[in-house]
Amino acid sequence: MIAVDLEAERKEILRRYRRLLRKAKPFLKDNDAKLIKKAFNLSVEAHKEMRRKSGEPYIFHPLAVAEICVEEIGLGTTSIIAALLHDVVEDTEVELDEIKSSFGPKVAKIIDGLTKISGVFEHGSSQQAENFRKMLLTLSEDVRVILVKLADRLHNMRTLGSMPRHKQLKIISETIYLYSPLAHRLGLYAIKSELEDLWLKYTEPEVYVDLVAKIAESKSSRNRFIKSFMNPIVDELDRTGFSYEVKGRPKSIYSIWNKMKKQNIPFEEVYDLFAVRIILDTPYDQEKAACWQVYSIVTDFYTPNPDRLRDWVSTPKANGYESLHTTVMSRAGRWVEVQIRTQRMNDIAEKGYAAHWKYKDGMNPAHESGLESWIQKVRDMLEQNDTNAIEFVDDFRSNLFSEEVFVFTPKGDLKILPSGATALDFAFDIHTEIGAKCLGAKVNNRLVPLNYQLKNGDQIEILTSNKQRPNEDWLRFVATSKAKSKIKDTLKETKKQAAIDGKEIVQRKLKQMKVPFDGDVANQLRAYFEEKTVTDFYYKVGRGLIDPSQIKNFKDFKKERQKSLRVKSKDFEYSDDFKKIEDPGKDILLIGEDMDVLDYRYAKCCNPIPGDDVFGFITVNEGIKIHRTTCPNAPELLSRHGNRIVKAKWMSQQQNAFLAVLRIIGTDRVGLMRDVTDIISNELKVNMQSISIDTETGIFDGQIRLYVNSTKHLDQLISKLEKVTGVMRVTRHDSREVN
């Protein structure tokens, strides 16, 4: 029986391999098929004893990643080989040198970038952040490392169902925090949308299933509407002789859910559930004129919304995206988004960076320089960046802007900067020296300060002075990593001397207080004064921003702290709680039973209650905090600090009262609030902490903070309140304060 299964598996592996070759065949050159076969055989042999969590042979994963690289990203032979071998160095006995000698330095470099770092990390670092930085360092030589990683992440997300819950949470949080914005920035919209949809599937499964069902239900009526809407446009396109294709596609599940959440509206009230896309087959030199001609045809039949015209044909997005978007009013009284683009633009929108190379010859250099320019900026940032990994990831994320601002130099040259960039960012973008001496700016011939936020169409002239020098405040109002790194470089020398002075002052003060000085004490002082690094703490003491006399208060705090937490040398501040959780007999925090063993509390940013899916996060000074997996801070905590995450679950006998926040919206009437409070206090015997109501033109919007026992209790309360006459909607509301 086992032999039959193994034989069936062998046949399935070969079937998948042949499918990969069929999809890659159109662009394979002379020796490519032999190299791919060699990589496949090496991968099969290296992974032969390994299986995935689902029970499938491990080789299914690299084959699937290679197929995504070919079919969904449009990559070639080097990337296929790297995808087939991307896990062999990390998970098997195969060495990187062996890969290099068999497949060359390019493949070896990509695989090295994809291989996680092993070893010990310094205090305050994050292994995920270190791994991400290592992978991005390869970007300075070969962008394919990122594209193969995105293919790897997409397949892991597609097969996440077989993973345990705590690993699901870590993977989906990294995905929404870093990989989805990265896919967006590289123009891989199809992959970005699927990653976001899968994040929602595993974060809020019930919401996801409900939305999928509702989109499916509305499919036939949506298709009828699109056909009716497009009929007059199609007739005119045929008459004018355009070669075209029309697609009506629903918005992604994540974007619909996001809109519902932001606007606090149900599915039925999301008006732009889909977009109509008109894809033209036209020569490159006629693209712009053809797109505007089709826009003219669409607006001949339907009235456009002037505020919703987006022209990314004349000025493509920085990631290379080109399209003409308009929103028009249909005859049925519904707004419809129409996207007009050519086949080339559509390929770039779907496959992003990889598609640029397919069309590079004969393109307008201005149109293909946006993404190259962004990648060059990332390369510069990687070369200049010597901060710790977590700061680096934050810096990098700030570069993953989905929106840009288009501004002009005094000579009329176009500059594209991230949304939120200031006049100072513009100065550093022109030249480091101009940025360092920037005194102010003239925007459209009007004097503005350094922190003026740029707007589309601004024309900027930078004013400089040889007496001007960067200062700490500048870091607060620059948005680009180039400006930040240059300002930090200039400040570094000054800071270094101030930190040396500060350290001497701290050592003298501790000696007076008879407190022995070592690295552990220095780190506790950093935490007590809430500084990011020990150097920052020394610097502030050296500059006089922290009075040395305040260190006496730390000594008193330390005595109190030692009563509740036994801090061990060379461990993190949170070592006691961490050690208890890492007990081999117990790897999960039982909420309701462990209060006497562990110092834990409930996070105020999401107010978890029994029934919520939760995790524990080990903080520096406040023990363990329990967060909901849907907490607004969860993606950051789970993706940046995986080593401080604790599995947690509620005990069934838990009967305490937990704070929950409800948002209630409806039409105002006499006695409404009395009916609402009667249900809460009298009928369901729920205690309220506070209630606040805003009423405007007959509509009220209120927030009620109350205590419940569980999610079941809360659902019962919401159901009762929704039946009150005048109440339109009751939803659980998250507090947004960061913990």
**C-alpha span between 484 and 492 (Å, rounded):** 12
**C-alpha span between 66 and 662 (Å, rounded):** 47
**C-alpha span between 730 and 702 (Å, rounded):** 10
**C-alpha span between 418 and 608 (Å, rounded):** 36
Residue 403 tokens read as: 């929106």
Q: Determine how β-strand 324-329 pairs with β-strand 404-408.
A: unpaired
**C-alpha span between 330 and 302 (Å, rounded):** 6
- Concerning whether 67 is annotated as a catalytic residue, the answer is no
Which residue carries 């459209």 as its tokens? 444
429 and 413 Cβ atoms separated by less than 8 Å: no
Residue 47 tokens read as: 């992974």
CB burial string 75-93: b at 16+ within 10 A, e below: bbbbbbbbbbbbbbbeebe
CB atoms near residue 708 (< 10 Å) = 23
Helix (H) or strand (E) holding 440: strand 438-443
Measured CA angle at 344 (ends 339, 346), to 5 deg: 35
Q: Which residue among the candidates 7, 45, 90, 547 is catalytic per the annotation? A: 90
Which residue carries 């000579």 as its tokens? 411
Q: Which residues contact 603 (CB under 8 A, 6 or more apart)?
A: 617, 625, 626, 627, 628, 631, 633, 739
Residue (of 665, 627, 637) closest to 173 by Cα position:
637
- Concerning whether 91 is annotated as a catalytic residue, the answer is yes
Q: Which residue among the candidates 9, 56, 91, 394 is catalytic per the annotation? A: 91
Residue (of 228, 244, 309) closest to 278 by Cα position:
244
Give me the amino acid identity at 334.
R
**C-alpha span between 537 and 532 (Å, rounded):** 8
Q: Determine how β-strand 335-342 pairs with β-strand 274-280.
A: parallel
- Give DSSP secondary structure letters for 100-116: HHHH-HHHHHHHHHHSP
SS3 664: strand
Residue 84 tokens read as: 């087939």
Residue (of 165, 142, 153) closest to 192 by Cα position:
153
Active site residues: 90-91
